[in-house]
Each structure stands twice: as structure tokens, then as C-alpha cells.
Amino acid sequence: MINDFMKSVAQFSDPRFRKVVLIGVAGALATIVGLWLLIWFGLSSITFFADGGWLESAADWILGIGLAVLVVLLFPAATVLISSLLLDQIADAVEDKHYPTLPETRPQPISEALISGLKFAATALALNILILPLLLAGPVYVIAFYGMNGYLLSREYFELVAIRRYDARTVEAIRKSRQKKLWLAGVGLTFLMTIPLVNLVAPIIATAFMVHYSVRLGTYVPETAV
């Protein structure tokens, strides 16, 4: 597993890896700055205090600082979201470099990818909301967070790469048959997602890692193609 991770990190010299990183960062910057300007101009047209004066100036400063904090908080999420739309290119780059003899990927309907993504997002949101009360329990929340998100991330990234060669039903069956091993990998990916700055490129590392890991588990090529 560590070797799979190291190979994934080492491939950041690949132009296709750098391209996805740059698009993610640039797209996130443009999105966040645009959103900040839109909110700022909208709020600046509103007068909070009829008499104006120092109270109005203080309110403007507080709003400005609040928006700046919002930009900082949203930037990683926006970067991850935009780069996640290009992860197929990462899988292609890994296959071309390390597994050039693999058969061609199957065409994936847009509806299939959309439904899968929406199901994952809904499940992740619901489960993370459900465990929020465990924040009061301290270490119990940490265990629940890593355990649950380990399952979610292993499922998401395995399905992301496996769906390139199998239909959705077969992907689910394979995932369940390797669930324990995939869960352990998912816990590692969850830790990666919580490291500042590293989390900006974590989806790229996770995708590359899962290609290597799936090939090693023998779950990446349909039996008819072997």
C-alpha cells in the first residue's frame, strides 16, 4: 500500500498531473474571487445604520474580514471540486505510464457517472451530519470520523477507477468482496484529506493510488480481457 502511494506521489512530474493541479487551483481562485466580489458589491449597496458614521465603517470592515475568512475556508473545497472533474485524466496518465498493456476502457454514460456522484454526495453528507453529536464525545468522534470516511472514500475512489471497465452492478459486487482491504486504504486517504495544503492535491493522489491498488488486488481488469 505504501509503495502504491509513493508511486502516485512520484508521478507529479507528469504534465497531465500538473495540468489538473493548475486547473483546479486557477479555477478555484477565479470562482472564489468572483463570489467574493459579487457578495461584497451586494452588501456594500446595503446601509446597515441609517446615521452612517463609524458604525457603518465598522460593519463594512467586519464584513470584509468575514468574506476574506470565507474565501480561505472555501478555497480548498473549491480546488478539490474542480480538480475532481478531471480525475479521469489522472487515471489515464497512471495507466499509460505503469500499465500500458491494459485493454481500452469502456464508454461510460454521463447519466451513470452523474447518478453515482449524487448518491455518494448524499450518503457522505447524511453520515457526516449524523455523527456530529459525537463531537461531544471527543476521541469517539475521531474514531467515527476516520472509520466512516474511510469507508466513503474507499468506495468513491474505487468506483471512480473501476467503473472505467465494469458496469455499476459489477463494480459494487467487486467492492463488497474486497471491502476490508479497501476500507484500510480509505482510512489512509481520509488522513491525507485532513492535511492542510496536501488536501488540495489529495483527490489526484487518491485516484492514482486507487489505480495502483486496484491493479494489485486484481480487480481492475475484467476476466474476459485477461
pLDDT tens-digit series, residues 82-132 = 767 788 888 889 999 998 888 788 777 777 666 766 666 666 566 666 666
Rounded to an integer, what distance in angstroms lies between the CA atom of residue 47 and that of residue 71? Answer: 23
Percent of the residues in the chain that have a pLDDT greater than 70, as a whole number: 70
Please report which residue ranges of 11-52 form alpha helices under DSSP H: 15-44
* Structural element, H or E, at residue 223: none
Q: How high is the mean pLDDT of the chain?
A: 77
Give the mean pLDDT of 60-79: 68
Q: What is the model's pLDDT at position 131?
A: 64
CA 118 centroid distance within chain: 13
**pTM beyond cutoff 0.75:** no
Rounded to an integer, what distance in angstroms lies between the CA atom of residue 148 and that of residue 146? Answer: 6
Residue with the bigger pLDDT between 12 and 53: it is 12
pLDDT at 14 over 50: yes
- Nearest Cα neighbor of 80 from 23, 149, 127 is 23
Q: What is the model's pLDDT at position 225?
A: 39
Give the mean pLDDT of 133-157: 81
pLDDT at 134 over 80: no
Helix and strand totals (H; E) in the chain: 9, 0
Cβ neighbour number for residue 150 with a 10 Å cutoff: 20
Phi, psi values for residue 9, rounded to 5°: -65, -40
